[in-house]
């Protein structure tokens, strides 16, 4: 062991380096380098049965370069992991906004690494708009018409959302069709939650209690919320996440709606968290998947 250490120290002497090697061969060096910007480090030492050559190219950003060696043949420069930027969210509502409230509360308690920076509604006096104003969240009324004339266009909406630096748009009970201009301005960045397991019981006219009544009338044994990407039609975008809710034999539409809504709140928070943490990936066939936070090798 001492012979090996002596040979290694001698081989590094010409590079003007000072390296201390513990007995387990894992070592780190603090190298004082005055010039040049790039330093090529060649280390050669011998064992009794073989000779090993280690090469490393280190970029020096200041007078000291820290090199971490995991083993005798693995030398790499330490680099800090980039910190994720908090994402800006716009939420669209038409009613009470219970999903909006769940998402906003999750941004406040740290469950979602983002901020709700603006609310868009087609009903300025709805519960969601009142909650936003109470929490000092700007409210935009869209579509906004006066005397039958549009006074705030789709192009105006796009410009306004960009002024808030919106990353993602979350529809939470917004009953209007999203204008084409907005869909094209935010590709793969607009999401909607629907109270059935799409593609069943979706499309124009299927919203609110109408969905749950149709589910019960059909005899379906399962329902539940679906979160999907928004395209230029109603409820036809790629499905991102779903949660199953059994339809009980004696369920009324109101009872089923309450149980589905409970799952909506948690599902939308989970999806918002994944979006803000950049855990969405796309399968080769174009199906979006959510990467597990606990195990990056698992998807759902």
Which residues participate in catalysis according to the annotation? 194
DSSP SS3 for 216: helix
How far from 16 is each of 10, 41, 155, 207, 234, CA to CA, in Å? 10, 11, 64, 74, 69
Helices (H) and strands (E) in the chain, counts: 7, 18
| Residues linked to residue 168 through DSSP beta bridges, in sequence order | 89
Q: Which residue has the tokens 């290694």?
A: 8
- Rounded to 10°, the helix 209-218/253-276 angle is 120
Taking residue 154's Cβ as centre, other Cβ atoms within 10 Å add up to: 17
Rounded Cα distance, 36 and 33, in Å: 8
Question: Which string of DSSP letters, residue by residue, matches 83-130?
Answer: PPPPEEEEEEESS--HHHHHHHHHHHHTSSSEEEEEEEES-TTSHHHH
């Amino acid at each position: 062991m001492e012979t090996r250490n002596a040979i290694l120290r001698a081989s590094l002497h010409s590079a003007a380096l000072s390296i201390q090697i513990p007995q387990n061969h894992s070592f780190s060096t603090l190298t004082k380098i005055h010039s040049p910007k790039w330093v090529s480090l060649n280390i050669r030492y011998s064992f009794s049965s073989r000779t090993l050559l280690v090469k490393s190219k280190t970029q020096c950003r200041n007078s000291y370069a820290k090199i971490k060696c995991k083993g005798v043949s693995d030398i790499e420069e330490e680099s800090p992991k980039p910190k994720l930027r908090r994402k800006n969210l716009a939420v669209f509502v038409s009613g009470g906004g219970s999903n909006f409230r769940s998402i906003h509360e999750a941004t406040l308690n740290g469950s979602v690494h983002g901020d709700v920076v603006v609310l868009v509604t087609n009903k300025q006096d709805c519960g969601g708009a009142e909650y936003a104003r109470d929490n000092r969240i700007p409210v935009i009324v869209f579509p906004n018409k006066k005397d039958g004339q549009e006074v705030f266009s789709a192009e105006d909406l796009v410009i306004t959302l960009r002024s808030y630096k919106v990353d993602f748009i979350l529809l939470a009970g917004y009953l209007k069709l999203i204008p084409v201009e907005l869909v094209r301005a935010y590709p793969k960045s607009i999401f909607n939650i629907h109270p059935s397991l799409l593609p069943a019981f979706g499309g124009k006219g299927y919203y609110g209690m109408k969905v749950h009544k149709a589910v019960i009338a059909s005899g379906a044994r399962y329902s539940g919320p679906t979160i999907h990407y928004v395209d230029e039609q109603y409820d036809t975008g790629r499905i991102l996440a779903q949660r199953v809710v059994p339809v009980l034999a004696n369920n009324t539409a109101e009872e089923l709606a309450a149980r589905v809504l409970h799952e909506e709140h948690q599902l939308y928070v989970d999806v918002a968290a994944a979006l803000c943490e950049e855990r969405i990936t796309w399968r080769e066939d174009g199906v979006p998947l959510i990467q597990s936070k606990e195990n990056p090798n698992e998807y759902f």
